[in-house]
Amino acid sequence: MTDNVIEIKNITKKFGDFTAVKGISFSIKEGEIFGLLGPNGAGKTTTLNMVLGLLHPTTGKILIDGLDNTEYPEKVKNLIGFMTQETVVDSTLTGRQNLEIAARLYHVPEKEVQKRIRSSLEEANLTGFADRQAGTYSGGMQRRLNLVKSMIHEPRILILDEPTTGLDVQSRLSMWNHIKNLNKAGVTIILTTQYLEEADSLCDRIAIIDHGEVKAIGTASELKKIVSSGNILDITTKVSNAEEVQKLLKSKFHLESEVKNDRVIATVDGKPIEMLVKIGKALEDQKIEVLAISMHLPTMDDVFIKLTGESMRDSASNEMPDRMISAGMAGRR
């Protein structure tokens, strides 16, 4: 039990009549990267806020390093670093002043302060800009400053709420490297993300949350097994043709499939390429118009759709460009 740095025990949170979190329990091991996935409004942020002590659970307990976080808020808060989705730096303060205030907020010992500021600036690659106002920094620089600022007290746990949302490709990759390096140095990391591939490639374990409940928890490959052990056949057609496709798959190939609007999804065991060719031929013979057809191993997308009944795409429609670049990564798995 000692290696569980965070234990969440059956917490619920009610806002008036609305129950945002319905009895969530899970624990996070020391030294892992833990991902929290879920559509908007699933209860991710509420759960994080409870871990951070910003909200008190209606029922249940959160133990951080064995301490109840509502009973020992100050001790617990010193163990946790937190970076929000929005970049929070004081734009009128210089980078150095930002770090200094952060160090004092976290009661960093007086003789350590200057040393920590220096190493943080180096880590964020901001030494040359230390005495400029943070408002003059670029978005990526501000983000890096934000990250080292939330690490100034050298916490054992780092909570990142959508750390890469809105970053360009380079900044995202460097953020990923940062996170991995911190993790190697022994920091336990919890992150929420809208990018399934991010969770897939970064996280040791993932919990999928929807409607205030944990739908599944495990490593990425464990979660993928929930969907299927075989391959996923994904046919995109017209909405009017979807049922015809489903019938064809059932009658000719004995495949059970699911229809989601214009998409027909089925699980295929056995030889995927052979099947794909056969199905393609059958569809052509029947003169059913097909827009796209693919055969692939389960991705986090499939897991997500299976468990939450909705696509991340729907819940995070503003993230389209980012999904393009990461599609390749998801496919490789």
Partner 1 sequence: MGLLADSMTIFKREMIIFRANLRTNIIRSIMFPIILIAVFGNLGASIRGVPIAVANYANNQQSVQFINSLVADGSISLQYTTNQQQGVTLLKDGQVVGLVVILPTFPQSSNGNPPVDVYYSSVQLSEVGVLLSKVQTTASSFGASYEKIQQGSTSPSGPSGVIPGSAGSLTVKSNSAYGTGGNYTTFLVGSIIFMTVGFGGVFGSGMSFITDRQLGNIKAFLVSPINKRAIVLGKLFSGTVQSVIYGILSLIIGLAFGAKIIMGFVGLIWILLFILAIGLAFTGLSLFLASRMSKVDVFAIVSQFIVMPLWFLSGAFFPANDFPFALRIISYVDPLTYVTNGVRAVMLTTYFPFSQIMLDFGVAIAFIIVALIASFVLFKDTLD
Candidates 4, 78, 267, 311; binder of partner 1 (CB under 8 A) is 78
Is 27 or 84 the residue whose CB approaches partner 1 more closely? Answer: 84
CB of 106 to partner 1, least distance (A): 6
**183 is a contact residue toward partner 1 (CB under 8 A):** no
Nearer to partner 1, 106 or 137 (CB): 106
Quick one: which segment of 74-82, 232-240, 289-297, 321-329 binds partner 1 (CB under 8 A)? 74-82
Exactly one of 3, 59, 71, 107 binds partner 1 (CB under 8 A); that residue is: 107
Q: Give the helix, strand, coil percentages of the chain, each rounded to 5.
A: 45, 25, 30
Among 73, 218, 230, 280, binds partner 1 (CB under 8 A): 73
Near partner 1 by CB under 8 A: residue from 33, 36, 39, 77: 77
Closest CA to 331 of 224, 205, 253: 224
Cβ proximity of 293 and 234 under 8 Å: yes
The residue (of 57 and 298) whose beta carbon lies closer to partner 1 is: 57
Q: Can residue 205 be called a binding residue for partner 1 (CB under 8 A)?
A: no
Q: How far is the CB of 157 from partner 1 (least distance, A)?
A: 12
Q: Is 84 in the site for partner 1 (CB under 8 A)?
A: yes
Contact criterion met (CB below 8 Å) for 2 and 185: no
Binding-site member from 29, 40, 54, 271 for partner 1 (CB under 8 A): 54
Please compute Rg for the chain using Cα positions.
Answer: 23
Footprint of partner 1 on 14-53 (CB under 8 A) = 15, 49, 52-53
CB of residue 13 vs partner 1: minimum separation in angstroms?
A: 8
* Edge-to-edge strand list for the sheet holding 263-268: 257-260, 263-268, 231-237, 290-296
Give the residue among 56, 75, 98, 45 at the shortest CA–CA distance from 156: 75
The stretch among 35-43, 78-86, 217-225, 234-242 that binds partner 1 (CB under 8 A) is 78-86
Burial (CB < 10 A; 0-12, 13-18, 19+), residue 17, is exposed
Task: Give the x/- contact pattern for partner 1 in 163-182, rule: CB under 8 A.
Answer: --------------------
Q: Which two tokens stand for residue 55?
A: 């909200």
Residue with Cβ nearer partner 1 (55 or 279): 55
Range 125-154, binding partner 1 (CB under 8 A): 133
Name the residue with tokens 């620089």. Answer: 141
Question: In terms of Cα–Cα distance, which of 175, 145, 168, 105 is closest to 325?
Answer: 168
Order of strands across the sheet with 4-15? 18-29, 4-15, 59-64, 67-68
CA distance 320 to 7: 35
- 5: phi > 0 → left, psi -120 to 50 → alpha, else beta; which? alpha
Q: Which residue lies nearer to partner 1 by CB, 75 or 271?
A: 75
Which uninterrupted H or E stretch holds 59?
strand 59-64
> Is residue 60 exposed (0-12), middle (13-18) or buried (19+ Cβ within 10 Å)?
middle
Choosing from 82, 129, 137, 304, the residue that interacts with partner 1 (CB under 8 A) is: 82
Closer residue to partner 1 (CB): 104 or 247: 104
**Contacting positions for partner 1 (CB under 8 A):** 15, 49, 52-56, 73-75, 77-78, 80, 82, 84, 86, 88, 90, 92-93, 97, 101-102, 104-107, 133
